[in-house]
Chains A and B, each alone.
Chain A
């Protein structure tokens, strides 16, 4: 028997008896950031491919999800800060070693760019929109003229946003569950599939729905591969990572992860997507909502389980 106890009675709030320093706002933000990244990625991509009119919903309408998601996400991040009055210190320095630092700057760029993108397409929803002030009208003309570079900025920063939400966690070697480089691509894939699902949910054009159903199916496949890949990596690694994987392989997070994330969030929507492509009529809302919920659950489970995983000590 080997028993290790803190006998001086340490009860640091948020750290003892088990680390729980990041609460619900962090996974909520990670989901919303990923969703915004996915939505903006497809909008910019199909604009740059010259398919703006063909995939109108993806390029012009669905991007309106992004600024809303980002603003709610930023509010969630702000709520989670404990020294709120000093939040501006994030923008007094760029620390390349810290994923959170370049995440903060990336968010500044992508949020601004998403607002501009939506402003350029505001007439999709309000055909008689008038900017009222001449300088706003001039700004609109300016950005319309430079829409291509704007789309490139959005495309690149959407990928950075999607990846960084994963790297943010994978940079912590103190939490073995997070400490895997698969997490960056996995979070990006999860964000992209959430984006594609949102487009399928919103589009009324059958060609567009078909394309994004196909895209969603491919990304779900990639996600499943990355999850299997991640567990293979854990099980072939050190004792701490074997134990971290154990949280999902018989441990307390087993049911919730495999049922809500893998089965309901990936496998069932993938099967439904496949049936849709084979000619069955599946209401788009079912796989769409399942993918979004799976993506959200994935963030919650990973952020909470990661804080449980630790070094043998």
Chain B
């Protein structure tokens, strides 16, 4: 089993509903976020191109954050999802420095927090909050090992990319281009 997510950059309008849904679902403290929206503008007016991406932890196959964690608080659960055990985390910040995507942040309570692919919802057969709430239905989630999952089907059909694959992290957040 390998959970992954795909975001359609052609459909995303950057409304930030995914960000708010995540903050509500996961009780993210005020002023912090586990996911965010990036807008890339290329060219000069009037020849402009735009790409909008809803980004979060890439749930890497080769996660540097898990590797550098001195206590084993950062660990991998089913489907390759990277999680943090708050009562093992000492808040040293090594994982935050190790992430090329800056996807982790120090929770005000002291431990490090991050996107979990809403594994608590996925375990109950639901979609992650950001995927479920997206008004343009631009996000796809599922198991890459299952050829019939939403994410497998869309990745087969569409051209896609990952972010900074050259960092050797084997990211599992895909962007349809």
Give A contacts to B, CB under 8 Å. 1-16, 19, 21-22, 80-87, 89-90, 92-93, 95, 97-101, 103-104, 171-175, 238, 307, 310-311, 313
* CB-contacts of B19-44 with A (<8 A): 19, 31-33, 35-44
- B42, B72, B93: which contacts A93 (Cβ < 8 A)? B72
Residues in A with CB closer than 8 Å to B35 are 8
B91 touches A175 (CB 8 A): no
User: Residue of A at shortest CB range from B66?
Assistant: A97
Task: Tell me which of A2, A10, A103, A307 has the highest count of chain B C-beta atoms within 10 A of its own C-beta.
Answer: A10
- A3, A82, A98: which contacts B67 (Cβ < 8 A)? A98
CA distance A1 to B37 in the complex (A): 20
Residues in B with CB closer than 8 Å to A21 are 93, 96-97, 106
B97 touches A19 (CB 8 A): yes
CB distance from A92 to the nearest CB of B (A): 7
* CB-contacts of B31-61 with A (<8 A): 31-33, 35-44, 52
B117-125, B141-149, B160-168: which lies at the A interface? B160-168
Chain B: interface secondary structure?
loop
A89 touches B90 (CB 8 A): yes
Residues in A with CB closer than 8 Å to B112 are 82
Residues in B with CB closer than 8 Å to A15 are 96, 102, 104-106
B163 touches A86 (CB 8 A): no
CA distance A15 to B31 in the complex (A): 12
The reply to whether the CB of B70 lies closer than 8 angstroms to some CB of chain A is: yes
The reply to whether the CB of B136 lies closer than 8 angstroms to some CB of chain A is: no
CA distance A171 to B69 in the complex (A): 12
Residues in A with CB closer than 8 Å to B106 are 12-15, 21, 82
| Cross-chain pairs A/B with CB under 8 angstroms, 30 sampled | A4-B39, A4-B41, A5-B38, A5-B40, A8-B19, A8-B36, A12-B33, A13-B106, A16-B102, A19-B102, A21-B93, A22-B97, A80-B92, A81-B91, A82-B91, A84-B91, A86-B111, A89-B73, A90-B70, A93-B72, A95-B69, A98-B68, A104-B70, A172-B98, A173-B64, A173-B100, A174-B97, A174-B98, A174-B99, A311-B167
